[in-house]
Amino acid sequence: MNAATTDQEKLIAVQQRAIETKIAASDHERLVAALRKAIEKDKVFFQAAKADPIFGPARDQVDALLAKLLADAKEKAEGELISAQVALNEVKDWHAEFAAPADFAAALAAVDRVKQGFDAQTYAEFLDVVPGVRVVKEQAAKMVSVQKAVIRGRVLDLMKRYRSHIGLKWPSATGEPHDWRHQRNAAYGDCDRAVKFASESGYEEYVQAESLLKRGVGRLNELKTLADAAKQEAER
């Protein structure tokens, strides 16, 4: 028997004597309060209190307490399961399940285990939902964080390339092609719209921003190449 088990048994013995004392004094209100504290410290008291004859004199009050604790635990567990689904939905919103399929599969498996425990409809299993969901939400948050960093990194890189083209002009020594300025302004327009999309910070907005930036920066690269070639030709 290890030290932890011994301490647990001592705790149970002390609480049991306290409960017995309160029963002997016919102080049912204090008994229920003592039992509540005992259950909060260790869920094993919940199951024990359901049938232990020690609680006979206050059975109605004890049963009412257990019913209330069970209902509260179930409500909290239901809320946690909803929050787990919300976290997984965010993973899907950012398409992070494709970037980290193994992690996503592990999160889904964890949720299934938690749901199976919940379906047992016991006080102990309801309490176990909380730590189980915590793990799922941590996994989901990590996947989303990594995916956001990757997408934002690509967009920021494109924005830097866009800014390097701001002020792009056709060399004055040569005649400017009739549609060169129009194409440049159209590319600037794409990039400016992309900046607005990126400020929304959602997956779809970042995808739109990346698409517009790729098109705009690609066009600016081509226009710069034409302008550089024209400048070199003029300097010969």
Report DSSP letters for 100-137, one per residue: SHHHHHHHHHHHHHHHHHHHT--HHHHHHHHHHHHHHH
- Is 204 inside a domain boundary? yes
- Is 88 inside a domain boundary? yes
**Residue segments in the chain with a per-residue pLDDT below the cut of 50:** 1, 24-25
Domain span holding position 112: 11-146
Q: How many CA atoms lie within 13 A of 150 on its CB side?
A: 13
Clarify whether residues 139 and 168 are in a common domain. no
Residue 135: predicted pLDDT: 93
- Is 154 inside a domain boundary? no
- Is 24 inside a domain boundary? yes
- Is 178 inside a domain boundary? yes
Q: Per the structure, how many domains does the chain have?
A: 2
Clarify whether residues 106 and 177 are in a common domain. no
Q: Which residues of 41-63 are buried (b: 16+ CB within 10 A; e: fewer)?
A: eebebbebbeeeeebeebeeebe
Residue 25: predicted pLDDT: 44
Residue 11: predicted pLDDT: 53
Clarify whether residues 170 and 130 are in a common domain. no
Clarify whether residues 142 and 172 are in a common domain. no
Clarify whether residues 130 and 170 are in a common domain. no
Clarify whether residues 142 and 38 are in a common domain. yes
* pTM listed for this prediction: 0.71
DSSP SS3 for 165 = coil
- Is 151 inside a domain boundary? no
- Is 80 inside a domain boundary? yes
Residue 53: predicted pLDDT: 79
Clarify whether residues 93 and 192 are in a common domain. no
